[in-house]
Amino acid sequence: MSGRFAPSPSGPLHAGSLLAALGSWLDARARAERWQLRIEDIDPQREVPGAARDIAQCLTAHGLHWDGEISFQSQRRERYNSALQRLQTHLFCCECSRRSLRGIHYPGTCHNRRDFTAEGAWRLRVEDRVIHFVDARRGALSQNVAQEVGDFIVRRRDAWPAYQLAVVVDDAEQGITSVVRGRDLLDNTARQCYLQDLLGYPRPRVLHLPLAEHADGSKLSKHTGAPAVDQHTPVENLRRAWQQLQGSPAPQLALQPLLAWCVEHWRVEAIGLK
C-alpha cells in the first residue's frame, strides 16, 4: 500500500503544489500507507537546474518525509520503451503539428497509418467505449475517451514518453495503490485507466483535491506567477493548506504535533469539491 507525490522539476514548490503534497501525504499516513517521492523529469526543456533538490528540501522543511529513495523518471526510459513495445499493435505515428490541433479533439487524421517516422509522435488508437472509475471523494465517474479526447499521445516527437504513459508505468511498477492529486488532473484519469487495462496493470484508488487559486479564481501555478513557498514558515503554510483542504482551521501547534493532529483529523468526506 503506497501513495506518492510526483512533481515536475520546473521550479520550486508554490502554495498549490504544497497543497497537493500535504493532501497526498496526509491521506497516505491516515491510511497507514507508504508515501513515495517521484520527480517527473521527462521534459528537459522545462526542467530548472536544482529544482528537484529544492523540492525535496521544501518537503523536508514542512515535515513531509517520504519513504525510500527518490525516483526519477529520466532514469526509467527503458521501462517506458518496454511498455510501448507491448502496446505496439495499438499505436500509430502522427505528424500533425501541435499548432494545427490546438484546442480541438484529435480528429483521427493519421489514425490508419502503419509506418513510424522519426519526426512523428506515437498515438494510442482508442476504442469507442466508456471508461468507468471511482474518485474517493466524487464517487462514480465516466468518460468516453474516444469521443471526448480521441487517440492520445504516448510517445512524444522527441522520443520521450508522454505523461500519460510514464505515470501509468511508474504507478504500477512502484506499487502505488492510491493516487492523490489536484482536480486539474481529473480529466487524465480515464486515459490512464484505459492504459492500465491494456497493459494489465491494477487501477489504483484515485482522489482529486481542490486547487489553490489566485484572487481572480485562476489556478495558482508557476505559469501564472505563483511565488515559491517560504520554507521559514512551515506551520503557517501547513495551516493555510489544511484550511483549503478540509474547510476548517487547524490548531496553532509546533510542526510535528500539528502534522500528527492533521493525520488524526484527516477526513476524505470533508475535502472541497471546487
Write the DSSP assignment of 195-239 as a string of letters.
Answer: HHHHHTPPPPEEEEEPPPB-TTSPBP-GGGTPPBP-TT-HHHHHH
- pLDDT tens figures, 78-111: 999 999 999 999 999 998 877 777 766 888 888 8
- pLDDT tens figures, 156-168: 999 999 999 999 9
State how many domains the chain has: 1
What is the SS3 assignment for 50? Answer: coil
Assign 35 a pLDDT band (cuts: 50, 70, 90): very high
Residues in a beta bridge with 141: 133
Query: What range does the domain containing 13 cover?
Result: 2-270
- pLDDT tens figures, 153-200: 999 999 999 999 999 999 999 999 999 999 999 999 999 999 999 999
Q: Under a CB-based contact definition with an 8 Å cutoff, are residues 26 and 266 in contact?
A: yes
Mean per-residue pLDDT over the chain, rounded: 93
Q: Under a CB-based contact definition with an 8 Å cutoff, are residues 174 and 235 in contact?
A: no
Instruction: Tell whether the model's pLDDT for residue 152 goes beyond 90.
Output: yes
Mean pLDDT, rounded, for 214-220: 56
Residue 214: the pLDDT is 53
- Give the CATH number, domain containing residue 238: 3.40.50.620
